[in-house]
């Protein structure tokens, strides 16, 4: 199970480096967002496939299945209750249509105050 945890940590670090640590105040391009979204979909899909296959082949090993669920939940917790691919998909859609909506990345308190469901 350690490789999955390390993979998720590496992905989070790469995301952080790409959009925060470079000191770039500009927003990422559509293509950068799309590449990151594709990577997030692959990770999410891989976790789901791994969990499904593990449930079929080793149904008694609940620790591994529970761990994959915890990884998925940690990804949701890090991204406001949604999977990273869902957040990036919306961001990509928003950038493609050049829609400016500051509620997209609002804090949970701001979302409640403004009544946003995103």
Cβ neighbours around 28 below 10 Å, total: 15
Parent domain of 20? 2-114
Predicted structure pTM score = 0.53
pLDDT, one tens digit per residue, over 10-67 is: 776 666 666 555 555 566 777 777 788 788 888 888 888 888 888 888 877 778 778 8
- Could you give the CA distance from residue 95 to residue 45 in angstroms, rounded to a whole number? 24
Give backbone dihedrals phi and psi of 106, rounded to 5 degrees, phi first: -75, 155
Average pLDDT value for residue range 85-111: 64
C-alpha distances in angstroms, 50 versus 41, 44, 45, 57, 83? Answer: 14, 10, 8, 11, 17
Most confident of 24-33, 67-76, 104-113: 67-76
* Average per-residue pLDDT for the chain: 71
Please state the three-class secondary structure of the chain as a single string: CHHHHHHHHHHHHHHHHHHHHCCCCCCCCHHHHHHHHHHHHHHHHHHHHHHHHHHHHCCCCHHHHHHHHHHHHHHHHHCCCCCHHHHHHHHHHHHHCCCCCHHHHCCHHHHHHHCCCC
How many domains are contained in the chain?
Answer: 1
First to last CA, the chain: 32
């Amino acid at each position: 199970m350690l490789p999955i945890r390390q993979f998720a940590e590496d992905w989070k670090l790469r995301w952080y480096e790409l959009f925060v640590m470079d000191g770039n105040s500009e927003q990422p391009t559509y293509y950068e967002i799309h590449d990151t979204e594709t990577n997030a979909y692959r990770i999410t899909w891989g976790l789901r496939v791994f969990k499904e296959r593990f449930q079929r082949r080793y149904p008694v090993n609940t620790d591994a299945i529970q761990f994959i669920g915890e990884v998925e939940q940690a990804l949701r917790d890090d991204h406001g209750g949604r999977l990273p691919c869902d957040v990036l998909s919306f961001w990509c859609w928003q950038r493609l249509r050049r829609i400016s909506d500051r509620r997209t990345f609002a804090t949970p308190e701001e979302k409640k105050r403004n009544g946003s469901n995103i």
